[in-house]
Structure 1
C-alpha cells in the first residue's frame, strides 16, 4: 500500500536550507520527532504545525499537501 504524504516539512526545510536539528532546537522537540514528521511516519498536531510555520516564517498552508482535487 502506498503511504500518502500529508505534509511537506522535508521539502520546506530543504528550501530554507535548515536542518531537522535546527528545527528541533527551535521548537523544543527531538530530532527523531522532526525526522518522523519529515518522513510522514507520524504527523504533528495542527497547533505544532502552526508553530513550525511561525518559526519558519511561512504560511501554515505551505506545510500541507492539498487534499482536494481541482476540477476544470
Structure 2
C-alpha cells in the first residue's frame, strides 16, 4: 500500500494550495512541500494549526482511512449503547 499524505489530500479536498497553507502558517512553501511529500512532518502545534485552518478534525490529518475510522467509532458507540439497554 502506498503512503498517503493526509495533509496533501485535505488541501485538495478543501481546494487550497501549498502556497496558501504556507502563507497562513508563516512558513516557507518549501516547508509545506516537505510536509506534503513526507520528507518531514509538522510538529504537534503546527498540526493543530493546520487542522484549524483547514477546518477538519486533527484525526483527519493523521488517520490513514479517516472515514473508515469514523464508521468504526460509530459502530462501537452503538454496540456500547445496545449493551446498556
TM bracket (short chain): 0.7 to 0.9
Count matched residues.
65
Unaligned regions of 5+ residues in structure 1, if any? 67-72
CA RMSD of the aligned region, Å? 2.1
SS across alignment from 1:29: coil
Residue matched to 1:54: 52
Which residue is 1:36 aligned to? 34
Name structure 2 gaps, 5 residues minimum.
Answer: 65-85
Taking structure 2 as the reference length, what is the TM-score of the superposition? Answer: 0.68
Larger radius of gyration: 2
TM-score, normalised relative to structure 1? 0.80
What SS does the aligned partner of 1:18 have?
coil
Q: Which structure's relative contact order is higher, taking Cα pairs within 8 Å and 6+ residues apart?
A: 1
Structure 1's consecutive aligned runs of 4 or more residues displaced over 2 angstroms after TM superposition are 4-7
